[in-house]
Amino acid sequence: MSVAWIWRLRLPNQPMLRHLTLAISGGALLFVLTTVLSSFNDYQVAQIGVYAVALAGLTLLTGANGQISLGNGAFMAVGAYGAGLLLAHTDVPIAVALLLAVAVGAVAGVVIGIPASRLRGPYLAGMTLALAVGLPSMVTKFSSVFGGDQGLSIAPPTPPNGVDPERWLAWIVLLCVVIVLVLLGNLMRSRFGRAFRAVRDDEVAASLVGISVARTQVLAFAVSAGCAGLAGGLFGLTIGGANPDAFNVQLSISLLAGVVLGGTGSLFGVWWGAVLLVYVPQWATSVAGTLNLQTGQSSNLALLFYGVVLVVVMLAAPGGLQGGIRRLTTLFVDKVRAGIQPSLPSTEGEHT
Amino acid sequence: MKRDAQRRRRPPLTMMAVLGAAALILAACSSSPSTPSSAKGLPGETDGVTSTSITIGATTPETGPAAPGYDEIAPAANAYFKYTNAHGKVNGRTIKYLIENDQYDPAITATLTRQLVLQDHIFADVGPLGTPTFLQVKSFLNTEGVPALFVESGCNCWSSPSLPITFGWQPPYTDEGKVLGRYIDGHFAGQKVGYLSQDDEFGQDGVKGLDDQIPSSDVVGRQTYVATTQGLASGLGSQIDALKAAGAKVVVLYTIPAATALALLAAAEVGYNPQWVVSSVGSDPPTLTGLLSSISKGAAGASLLSGIISDAYLPPITDATNSWIVGFKKILHTYDSGAPWDGNTEYGLALGYNVVQDLKAAGKNLTRTALVDAVENHSSSLPGPWLVPLSYTKSDHYGIQGNEVVQLENGGQTIKTLTPVEATTISGPITTPTSTPSVAPSGFGS
Amino acid sequence: MSRFLDLTLGGVTYGAIYAAVALALVLIWRATRILNFAQGAMAMFSTYIASSLVERHVSYWVALVVALASGALIGAVVERVVVRPVERRPPLNAVIVTLGLLVAIEALAGIIWGGSLRSFPSYFSQVGLVVGRTRLAFSHFDVYVVCAVIVVLLGFVILFRFTDVGLRMRASAFSPEVSRLLGVRVGRTLTLGWALASMVGALAGVLAAPKLFLGPNFMDAVFIYGFTAAVIGGLESPLGAVIGGIVTGLSLSYVGGYLGSSLDALGALVIVMIVLMVRPRGIFTPIAERRV
């Protein structure tokens, strides 16, 4: 009985406070984590963070607003090149370059969002796919500005004395992730978030209530593209440059996969998606490597595992990992509660 | 319903704590067992070297659209390393070669290179493939003090004072372009010439070399293509058509093998038959034969290859008398038995051989500085399959800087040498070295 | 003028190949309301099976039939095993499942047949036809490609409009519950839809391979442009798929030919945007009115 109070601990009810609490505690946890991990793992944490930022925007667009986008990789490219060009030609601090990446991404989101706002379902998917394929080719065409196929070089952020460059990078990325998650969390709870969901669920009803469908769609696109732009800028800092081959169709598809695998529409799910995107290929490669096959066979086997994982997770956990975990913890908590307080009915909505 | 809404909005703190703990455990499990402080604390000079082994690594495309052909190179180099491990090792150490698949995606290259350096602690990055891919990691490797031995790319990028421990290997594309250009200018003077080149530094550097030798008034068409699956998904008919319309009698192809085959196919379709001059990158006969063997009912596709002029900086693969080739073929057959004998595997084996000789020359006290020193100072007299002596010095980090012009015959079954070997540098003149290619030591490969 | 003609002919031929992929996508969409991202990979796999037969000196036509049959089989198995569980779920789940299949099938092909590109026979000559004194950029093989796609299109139109099977398929897609009540074996019909679609996809693979060379990834770009074609033409209409294919092929050809090859993907994007801005659901989808 004495442990029962744990189950009553709650986060604050007010959205901003709740998000800040989560952000600060989560951020502190991750900060501590980076100090015990090795350099390479810190680098991977940075990669997870980059994906998390991109996935957060995409999950808002796809989950809350119901628009399916296969082109967020292109928005990442826009952000990466924006930040990269600024850093290459001027001496601004990284924060300014990242802000520019957000801005450029958001502008691109508006530009694409306006024609996209009329499209639904597979037609929107088709247009965004064409975007993912077509936009990076602009880099090759205007190679004098963008560096063409050789790409731009982006210097990694210089750490203060005594700090590993990879760890410093992880901190910068994690800070951005935390900020983005707080902002998006608030947005989802605000009237804009309600407008997104209203338009997703029933356009006609939403417009009858006075919500401008087109404007909502464009806003969602712009926010999602702004996040993708920021992710692109961070991506450029992480890998040390921007290159059209890095912003291929696979990237856009991976982003969508990450959103769905994590749990569409869920900001917690964004973490799962990001972790999967970074770790499953690596895990698959090491498993395939233990079989001691020829290199080509081994690489293909790793990809086979990756594809199978995607399919299996989707079949086993239709709500994504976040949905699956929620179900499991609900079951678990139910059982524990039944054990601790067998006589009390569960009246309050205490478990998820 | 209110209860459902609350359910969704208020996760218990304990659940978050459980999740957080799970994340920590996950991360801790997959983190490497090395010291938690930065890898910079370790003495970098002997990273990857133990008393019994040397660990080296590379990033190459093993899957994906860029993989065909290139995926053979690293396993072939590894075959040579395995041969060395079984025949005397390197000053008592075996070589362990970690081949990582980067799918020709520079972002993946960046990740895998960091994995190789920070987690696997490789001694050197040996034979990383590709220009955009390696450009992404060149600064990182330089900062970490990891030598990059023999970048598999002909970009004019690898010999630079800012990259003191990075070395190229194959001739820069511009060198090759100059040799081919000189041949064209000498033997097809005054005729109309057309270029079809890849729209990146491979094609652009090659064209620079061609333009160095071929008067621009002779060049009537400069077509390009983009080397992505989308770029080639409609074939090269439009480009070939344009060159035909311009009346080019000589067409230079700075193309990868798939694009060479597409160009030949498109030309056959419109009945266009210029003199083809193809960069060594895209003229490997076994690869081209494999791509063209089924074309056209009744017309053997391989016959399209006869008469193609190309260049070579290693002995032509069809030369069965060359002592190096005899040895390499034996090694390939024993240690990489599924692999075909073609330009890619010859390249890999030759590169592997070069690496082993340099590792040996670096001595028992193997450090990164010793290795770099060995490459810079002990290469010019190193016997090997290359047609000109290696040109590495303290200031020149390009390796093989000479080509001979060759011609394919009998559908690519034989390769005839047309000119003596010519040496050049990116901005220097073309010279004819007097040295003769070396012969392999007796018993090589057995 | 002759350049324009050659670009047009080239665009039509490749456009027919994209149209074949688009037809497969349209069929699956009409049958199950799912976007099958693995369509290209499934087609590639069937083409490899045909290629293995051809290597053993089996005739082209037998190999073609086997490719079509294996395509149908693969489609049916995929629908029954992997897609059926997600058919009732949010559409995004099915998208991710097909994406996972795409990666897995391409990797499997790489394991079985290796990563090198290989050639695939075309049976018909790929040398251009001669008309008058000019040699066109259009060969016997290209004629065969275009004819094959037209035949498939006619087959679809007949299937959907004039046969019971087609009616059942349309009913199962629009209203599975009511169809069940009326005695339609909905599950079986869906499987049939996938089987037919994959058969068409396999045909697309066999038609594309002689021109683009067979490799585990060779259908990636063909799929992307086929998807573009389906979207342009409207996912409800087989005729739209073919028209969309031709439009895509022609625009790629003209943009690449007149503006430079590096711009053709961008040109495709512009065409898609223009078409969708005018007709947000593709050219041939009837505009549905919503009654409030």
Q: Give the CATH number for residue C216.
A: 1.10.3470
A39 closest CB neighbour out of B19, B75, B118: B118
Residue C96 lies in domain:
2-115+139-278
Asked if residue B432 belongs to a domain, the reply is no
Give the pair of three-digit tokens for residue B97.
Answer: 């070669």
Asked if residue C101 belongs to a domain, the reply is yes
What distance lies between CA B381 and its chain's CA centroid? 23
The answer to whether residues B271 and B165 belong to one domain is no
pLDDT of res. B1:
44
The residue type at A249: V
Averaged over B272-298, what is the pLDDT? Answer: 85
Tell me the C-alpha distance between A66 and A263, whole Å: 13
A159 touches B: beta carbon within 8 Å = no
The answer to whether residues B298 and B195 belong to one domain is yes
The answer to whether residues B160 and B199 belong to one domain is no
pLDDT of res. C126:
81
Judged by CB atoms closer than 8 Å, whether chains meet at B338 and A294 is answered as yes
What distance lies between CA B291 and its chain's CA centroid? 20
pLDDT tens track for B240-262: 989 999 999 999 999 999 999 99
The answer to whether residues B156 and B181 belong to one domain is no
The answer to whether residues B191 and B307 belong to one domain is yes
B432 touches C: beta carbon within 8 Å = no
CA dihedral (A188, A192, A198, A204) in degrees, to 10, reads -160
Backbone angles phi, psi at B443, to 5 degrees: 80, 10
Residue A335 has pLDDT above 70, yes or no: yes
The answer to whether residues B335 and B307 belong to one domain is no
Give this complex's ipTM. 0.89
Residue B2 has pLDDT above 70, yes or no: no
CA distances from A263 to A44, A323, C94 (A): 21, 6, 14
Taken in order B29, B31, B32, B33, is the CA torsion positive or negative? negative
pLDDT of res. A202:
87
The answer to whether residues B304 and B345 belong to one domain is no
Asked if residue C70 belongs to a domain, the reply is yes
Nearby residues of A339 by Cβ (< 8 Å), 6 or more positions away: none
Residue B152 lies in domain:
45-171+320-400
Q: Chains that contact A by 3+ CB pairs under 8 Å? A: B, C
C235 closest CB neighbour out of A122, A133, A249: A122
Strands B402-409 and B414-417: antiparallel
Percentage, residues of chain B above pLDDT 70: 89
A151 closest CB neighbour out of B62, B74, B136: B136
C135, β-bridge pairs? C130
Asked if residue C179 belongs to a domain, the reply is yes
Chain A residues touching residue B61 (CB < 8 angstroms):
none
User: Which of B156-160, B327-331, B365-369, B431-435 shows the lowest mean pLDDT across its residues?
Assistant: B431-435
Most confident residue range from A313-317, B110-114, C177-181: B110-114
Nearby residues of C162 by Cβ (< 8 Å), 6 or more positions away: none
Residue B6: closest C-alpha in chain A: A349
Strands in B94-101's sheet, in edge-to-edge order, are: B94-101, B53-60, B125-126, B148-151, B166-168
Q: Which residues of chain C have pLDDT under 50?
A: none
Q: Which of C259, C261, C264 to mutate to test the interface with B (most CBs of B within 10 A)?
A: C261
**What proportions of chain C, in percent to the nearest 5, are helix, strand and coil?**
75, 5, 20
C90 touches A: beta carbon within 8 Å = yes
The answer to whether residues B340 and B308 belong to one domain is no
Judged by CB atoms closer than 8 Å, whether chains meet at C135 and B71 is answered as no
Chain A residues touching residue C35 (CB < 8 angstroms):
122, 125
Asked if residue C231 belongs to a domain, the reply is yes
A41 closest CB neighbour out of B5, B18, B27: B27
The answer to whether residues B283 and B266 belong to one domain is yes
Q: How many structural domains are present in chain C?
A: 1
Asked if residue B422 belongs to a domain, the reply is no
The residue type at C254: Y
B24 touches A: beta carbon within 8 Å = yes
Chain B residues touching residue A293 (CB < 8 angstroms):
none
pLDDT band at residue A149 under the 50/70/90 scheme: confident
Averaged over B413-421, what is the pLDDT? Answer: 89
Chain A residues touching residue C277 (CB < 8 angstroms):
115, 118
The answer to whether residues B390 and B351 belong to one domain is yes
Asked if residue B411 belongs to a domain, the reply is no
Which comes out higher in pLDDT, residue B445 or B422? Answer: B422
pLDDT tens track for A89-148: 888 999 999 999 999 999 999 999 999 988 988 899 999 999 998 888 888 888 888 888
Q: How many structural domains are present in chain B?
A: 2
pLDDT of res. C36:
93
Which comes out higher in pLDDT, residue B303 or A350? Answer: B303
Backbone angles phi, psi at C118, to 5 degrees: -135, 165
In three-state secondary structure terms, B41 is: helix
Residue B138 has pLDDT above 90, yes or no: yes
The answer to whether residues B60 and B152 belong to one domain is yes
Asked if residue B438 belongs to a domain, the reply is no
Other C-beta atoms closer than 10 Å to the C-beta of C7 total 23
Give the pair of three-digit tokens for residue B92.
Answer: 């008592």
* A-contacting residues in B 235-254 (Cβ below 8 Å): none
In three-state secondary structure terms, B101 is: strand
Asked if residue B225 belongs to a domain, the reply is yes
Asked if residue B205 belongs to a domain, the reply is yes
Length of chain C: 292
Q: Which of B63, B72, B269 to mutate to test the interface with C (most CBs of C within 10 A)?
A: B269
B55, β-bridge pairs? B96
- Planar angle of CA B249, B252, B254, nearest 5 degrees: 160
Judged by CB atoms closer than 8 Å, whether chains meet at C266 and A137 is answered as yes
Judged by CB atoms closer than 8 Å, whether chains meet at C265 and B238 is answered as no
pLDDT of res. A91:
87
Asked if residue C120 belongs to a domain, the reply is no
How many contacts, defined by CB atoms under 8 Å, are there between B and C? 141
Residue B65: closest C-alpha in chain C: C217
Q: Which of C18, C103, C117 to mutate to test the interface with B (most CBs of B within 10 A)?
A: C117
Asked if A45 and A34 count as a contact pair (C-beta separation under 8 A), the reply is yes
Residue finishing a domain among B288, B312, B336: B312
Residue finishing a domain among B279, B312, B345: B312
Residue A345 has pLDDT above 60, yes or no: no
Chain A residues touching residue C231 (CB < 8 angstroms):
122-123, 125-127
Asked if residue C226 belongs to a domain, the reply is yes
pLDDT tens track for A33-77: 888 888 899 999 999 999 999 999 999 999 888 888 999 999 999
B63 touches A: beta carbon within 8 Å = yes
Asked if residue C193 belongs to a domain, the reply is yes
Judged by CB atoms closer than 8 Å, whether chains meet at C122 and B295 is answered as yes
Q: Where are the alpha helices (DSSP H) in B314-364?
A: 323-335, 343-362
Asked if residue B22 belongs to a domain, the reply is no
Asked if residue B423 belongs to a domain, the reply is no
Closest CA–CA distance from residue C179 to any residue of chain A (Å): 24
Chain C residues touching residue B233 (CB < 8 angstroms):
14, 212, 221-222, 224-225
Q: What does DSSP assign to residue A252?
A: H
Q: What CATH number did the domain enclosing B280 receive?
A: 3.40.50.2300
C35 closest CB neighbour out of A62, A125, A257: A125
Q: Which of A310, A312, A313 to mutate to test the interface with C (most CBs of C within 10 A)?
A: A310
